[in-house]
Amino acid sequence: MKAIHLIIPALLCLFVVSASAQTEPGSLRGIVTDAQTGEPLLGASVVVKDDGGNIIKGATTDLDGKYNINPLNPGTYTVECSFLGYATLKITDLVIDPNVTTTRNFKLRPPTEVLSEVVISYDIIPSEESIRTASPVTTKRKSEYSVSDQTNVRGARSEGTVYFINGVKVSGTVYHYYYQDNTEEYETITENRFLDAASNPLSTFSSDVDVASYSNLRRFISNGELPPVDAVRIEEMINYFNYDYPAPAKGKTFSVTTETVACDWAPTHQLLRIGIQTEKIALEELPPNNLVFLLDVSGSMDSPYKLPLLKKSLKLLVHTLRKEDRVAIVVYASATGLVLPSTPGDEKEKILEAIDRLNAGGSTAGGAGIQLAYKTAIENFEKKANSRVILATDGDFNVGISSDDELVKLIEEKREAGVFLSVLGFGTDNYKDSKMEKLADNGNGNYAYIDNLFEAKKVLVNELGANLNVVAKDTKFQIEFNPARVQAYRLIGYENRLLNDEDFNDDTKDAGDIGSGHSVTAIYEIIPTGVKIDRILANVDSLKYQINRSPAGKFDNEIATVKIRHKKPGEEKSILETHTVKKESKAVSEDLKFISAVIEFGLLLRDSEYKGNSSYEKVLALAKSGKGEDEGGYRHEFIRLVSLAKDLHEQNTALLEDD
C-alpha to C-alpha distance for 309 and 300, rounded to whole angstroms: 14
Q: Percent of the chain beyond pLDDT 90? A: 46
What secondary structure letter does DSSP report for 546?
A: S
C-alpha to C-alpha distance for 208 and 198, rounded to whole angstroms: 27
In one letter, which amino acid is 80? E
| 538: pLDDT strictly greater than 50 | yes
Q: What pLDDT band is residue 648 in, cutting at 50, 70 and 90?
A: confident
- What class is the 283-468 domain? alpha beta
Does 9-108 match 195-281+471-533+555-647 in CATH topology?
Answer: yes
Three-state DSSP at 638 gives helix
C-alpha to C-alpha distance for 214 and 239, rounded to whole angstroms: 9
* pLDDT on residue 84: 62
C-alpha to C-alpha distance for 11 and 166, rounded to whole angstroms: 9
Task: Name the maximum alpha-carbon separation found in the chain.
Answer: 97
C-alpha to C-alpha distance for 589 and 348, rounded to whole angstroms: 44
Range with the lowest mean pLDDT among 54-58, 172-176, 276-280? Answer: 172-176
In one letter, which amino acid is 353? E
| Phi, psi at 348, each rounded to 5° | -65, -40
Q: pLDDT tens digits, residue range 595-646? A: 999 999 999 999 999 999 999 999 999 999 999 989 888 999 999 999 999 9
C-alpha to C-alpha distance for 331 and 336, rounded to whole angstroms: 6
What residues pair up with 386 in beta bridges, in sequence order? 289
Of 380 and 398, the one with more pLDDT = 380
Q: pLDDT tens digits, residue range 305-340? A: 888 899 999 999 999 999 999 999 998 875 678 889
* pLDDT on residue 50: 64
Q: pLDDT tens digits, residue range 491-508? A: 999 999 999 999 999 999
Assign domain 9-108 to its CATH superfamily: Carboxypeptidase-like, regulatory domain (2.60.40.1120)
CA triple 224-227-230, angle to 5 deg: 175
Q: What pLDDT band is residue 81 in, cutting at 50, 70 and 90?
A: confident
C-alpha to C-alpha distance for 162 and 139, rounded to whole angstroms: 10
Q: H or E element: which one contains 220?
A: helix 212-222
| 566: pLDDT strictly greater than 90 | yes
DSSP 348-380: HHHHHHHHHT----S---HHHHHHHHHHHHHHT
Q: Is 481 exposed, middle or buried (0-12, 13-18, 19+ CB in 10 A)?
A: buried
Q: pLDDT tens digits, residue range 148-207? A: 333 333 334 333 333 443 333 443 333 333 334 567 889 999 999 999 999 999 999 999
Residue 102: Cβ within 10 Å count: 17
Range with the lowest mean pLDDT among 70-74, 230-234, 376-380? Answer: 70-74
Q: CB within 8 A of 186, min separation 6: which ones? A: 228, 230, 231, 433, 434
In one letter, which amino acid is 408? V
* pLDDT on residue 116: 32
CA triple 210-212-214, angle to 5 deg: 110
CATH number of the domain located at residue range(s) 195-281+471-533+555-647 in this protein: 2.60.40.1230
The domain segmentation of the chain, as residue ranges, is 9-108, 114-181, 195-281+471-533+555-647, 283-468
